[in-house]
Amino acid sequence: MTWMKMRRHRVFLLCTVGLCVISFLHYYKALHYVSLLRELSAPYPNIKSFIMVTGFFWKERATPLASAVPEEGPPPALRPSDTKPRAAEDVGGVKGAGELGDAEGLAMEAGEDPGMPRPWVRPEEPPHRDPEATQEQNERQKVTPWHPNQPAAHLRQEVPQVVVVVEELDPTTAPTADPLETMGDLHRRTYQLQNDRTPYFVRTKAGALCFRQGTEVAPPSGQAKVPSPTAAANHGQRQLLQQPMQSQQQAPQHTEEQASTLHGKPRRGKRLVKCVCRPGWHGPYCGVPTMVYHSNLPTKERLTPRETPRRVINAINVNHEFDLLHVRFHELADAVDLFLVCESNFTAYGDRRSMRFLRLLLNGTYDYIRHKILYVFLNHFPDGGRQDGWIADDYLRTFLSRNGMSRVMGLRPDDVFIINDADEIPAREGVLFLKLFDGWTEPFAIHMRKSLYGFFWKQLGSLEVVSGCTVGMLREVYDNDGIRLRRREYYTMPGFRKYENDTGHILVQWSLGSPFHFAGWHCSWCFTPEGIHLKLISAQNGDFPRWGDYEDKRDLKYIRELIRTGGWFDGSMQEYPPSDPKEHMYAPKYMLDNYERYRYLLENPYATSTKLNGG
């Protein structure tokens, strides 16, 4: 009798185990695509994950989180060679980067040209819909599909079977065609780097080699010396101390002798061969800015000027950060030799979007810097990016660096590569130092002043982001992958030791600036309320909670209140140290010089409002 009971229990146990195995296999696909632990640990779990899992019971059609091909999972690594052949061709070479014959990559909706900085029209806030069901319904009703990333004011409802062509005007009111149709081979062109022949250094009569911008220059004979600006005179604002426009032959003859006299040093005895530095510059050549002087660079005593300046390549991805893009170009115009600017016709969430930067590039908005821009076009969305937003976020940087750098001709291993987000702006002085001096190590990070919604909400500390290295290290250690550079894991890369042995350099990461001496600016969510709304609904599907999924968080009145108070979307309030537009490194110089144009980022536009306007 006891043996029969044991047998029944054994059969029941085996059946239970079998049911568990079947259940696990049944839900394997869902577990493969979504990290349930991450979803459940978030303060506000994404309801779409629950819909996707429960959909297996009732066999409903795919949700926005479901993959179009469930059998295909996200790639195991971010290297394009591990993904589909099309992605590999697009990243590894130039041919696949958005050919005009690719109908899928070129499909886009008509959007309003944002032109120069101005507010957007307030978008409507419809709930998220099933994209496949919406497409089927639209095909039956013959209407134009609408995606969340397109403002409602841009829509044009079409009469059935009638094609409506929307013509857009540039700032000169001349009609412009679809930018993708007029782009030609812009996204496949190569760029030939040239040597920078700017005379950054001067040699004094006594033989000292001095950095022009950082050295006190005596006036010509018979003229009184103009006092250098002081902290009281400039009210703490950052000063770009430029040498007066004099003849390059006259300045070196008077620099050393008269500079010594101006500082009260007698001429008798042995004459010291050195440069007299202006405020904010240090070192024997007066070429080390304060942000480097107070950094953790371990080789400061071995810094020497270069005979030939390095070329600097700055790579960025752009969405709708056009105000900050103008600021970046003006801040770094004479320090950066080439800007790699990547734009996609997909948002980070995977929706179609208009090619706004391309339109501005073609209509002349960036003509003042266009000779230094190499346009990179990402015409597809990575596999698995809709299910895991970090795949899409990382792939943007991978494509930018690999496609962009493959089209740059004449590179030298010691040239500098810097990759930033669009809201990260390095200071000009730090980039010039990297360009002009030998002796610093790599990779390097940048300490940036942190601010939220505008430069008026200054956050404590600094944001330290690994941002750059030499082109040689990018190739040999990081495999030309920008996201690997940002991850601080160079010592685990296969080519790390080989590169270190080949160059003879000990690779030690360091940072420009410090938490108290900023080397750039990071302005997070620095848009108008309409721009913040657009960022919310375009955000990638991985940084949970995804605030764009909540209707109340997308309300413009709510967003204005966040800007006014400095609060966050979860209802928390931060502590902000006092800040003033006159303080050192408050904002980039171009913004301060164009204060009225950027007032909404330099001063809280709702600080004195007693009543917020609805809208």
Peptide bond into 284 cis (omega under 30): no
pLDDT band for position 181 (cuts 50, 70, 90): confident
pLDDT digits (tens, 9 = 90+) for 86-131: 334 444 443 444 343 343 433 333 344 444 444 333 444 444 444 4
Angle, helix 389-406 to helix 85-92, in steps of 10 degrees: 50
Q: Residue 36 and residue 53: Cα distance in Å, rounded?
A: 10
Q: Residue 542 and residue 34: Cα distance in Å, rounded?
A: 10
- Residue among 455, 494, 473, 335 at smallest CA distance from 417: 473
pLDDT band for position 10 (cuts 50, 70, 90): confident
Cβ(383)–Cβ(343) below 8 Å: no
Selection from 127-136, 257-266, 466-475, 500-509 with the highest mean pLDDT: 466-475
Q: Residue 226 and residue 219: Cα distance in Å, rounded?
A: 8
Check residue 348 and give its pLDDT. Answer: 86
- Residue among 246, 237, 192 at smallest CA distance from 217: 246
Instruction: Dig out the tokens for 85 from the structure.
Output: 């052949």
Return the number of other C-beta atoms located less than 10 Å from residue 268's C-beta.
6
pTM equals 0.66
Instruction: Dig out the tokens for 413 from the structure.
Output: 């291993």
Judging by beta carbons within 10 Å of its beta carbon (0-12, 13-18, 19+), is residue 386 exposed, middle or buried? buried
Cβ(405)–Cβ(395) below 8 Å: no
- Residue among 569, 548, 549, 574 at smallest CA distance from 558: 569
Q: At a CB cut-off of 8 Å and minimum separation 6, what does 293 contact? A: 282, 283, 300
Check residue 209 and give its pLDDT. Answer: 92
Q: In this predicted model, which residue has the larger pLDDT, 496 or 153?
A: 496
CA-based R_g, the chain, Å = 28
Q: At a CB cut-off of 8 Å and minimum separation 6, what does 593 contact? A: none
Q: Residue 83 and residue 77: Cα distance in Å, rounded?
A: 8
Least confident of 23-27, 414-418, 427-431, 591-595: 23-27
Instruction: Dig out the tokens for 54 from the structure.
Output: 């429960």
Q: Residue 350 and residue 382: Cα distance in Å, rounded?
A: 9
Instruction: Dig out the tokens for 387 from the structure.
Output: 């299910």
Q: Residue 292 and residue 311: Cα distance in Å, rounded?
A: 19
Cβ(352)–Cβ(107) below 8 Å: yes
DSSP code of residue 331: H
Which residues sit opposite 470 in a β-bridge? 416
State the residue for tokens 């841009």.
154
Give one DSSP letter per residue of 455-482, joined into a string.
TTSEEEEEEEEEEEEEHHHHHHTTTT-H
Q: At a CB cut-off of 8 Å and minimum separation 6, what does 84 contact? A: 383
The H-assigned helical ranges of 525-580 are 529-538, 556-565
Instruction: Dig out the tokens for 230 from the structure.
Output: 């002081």
Share of the chain above pLDDT 70, in %: 64
Cβ(403)–Cβ(91) below 8 Å: yes
Q: Residue 320 and residue 422: Cα distance in Å, rounded?
A: 9
Q: In this predicted model, which residue has the larger pLDDT, 2 or 473?
A: 473
pLDDT digits (tens, 9 = 90+) for 566-589: 999 999 998 898 889 999 999 999
Q: Are strands 281-282 and 510-512 parallel, antiparallel or unpaired?
A: unpaired
Which residues sit opposite 192 in a β-bridge? 409
Which residues sit opposite 463 in a β-bridge? 448
State the residue for tokens 């209140």.
561
Residue 271 has pLDDT above 70, yes or no: no
Check residue 414 and give its pLDDT. Answer: 95
pLDDT digits (tens, 9 = 90+) for 420-466: 999 999 999 999 999 999 999 999 999 999 999 999 999 999 999 99
Q: Residue 48 and residue 549: Cα distance in Å, rounded?
A: 10
> What φ, ψ does residue 445 adopt, rounded to 5°?
-110, 175
SS3 assignment, position 485: helix
Residue 376 has pLDDT above 90, yes or no: yes
Cβ(118)–Cβ(363) below 8 Å: no
SS3 assignment, position 82: helix
Check residue 273 and give its pLDDT. Answer: 63
Q: Residue 33 and residue 17: Cα distance in Å, rounded?
A: 25
Residue 303 has pLDDT above 70, yes or no: yes
Taken as a whole, the chain contains a residue count of: 615
pLDDT digits (tens, 9 = 90+) for 523-570: 999 999 999 999 999 888 877 788 988 999 999 999 999 999 999 999
Name the residue type at position 222.
G
The H-assigned helical ranges of 290-411 are 290-293, 322-332, 356-362, 389-406
The sign of the dihedral angle between the CA atoms of 326, 329, 332, 333 is negative
pLDDT digits (tens, 9 = 90+) for 41-55: 444 444 444 444 444
Letter string b/e over residues 342-362, b meaning 16 or more CB atoms within 10 A of that residue's CB: bbbbbbbbbbbbbbbbbbbbb
pLDDT digits (tens, 9 = 90+) for 594-614: 999 999 999 999 987 444 343
Q: Residue 331 and residue 519: Cα distance in Å, rounded?
A: 12
Instruction: Dig out the tokens for 199 from the structure.
Output: 């005379």
Give one DSSP letter per residue of 340-362, joined into a string.
EEEEESB-TTS-B---HHHHHHH
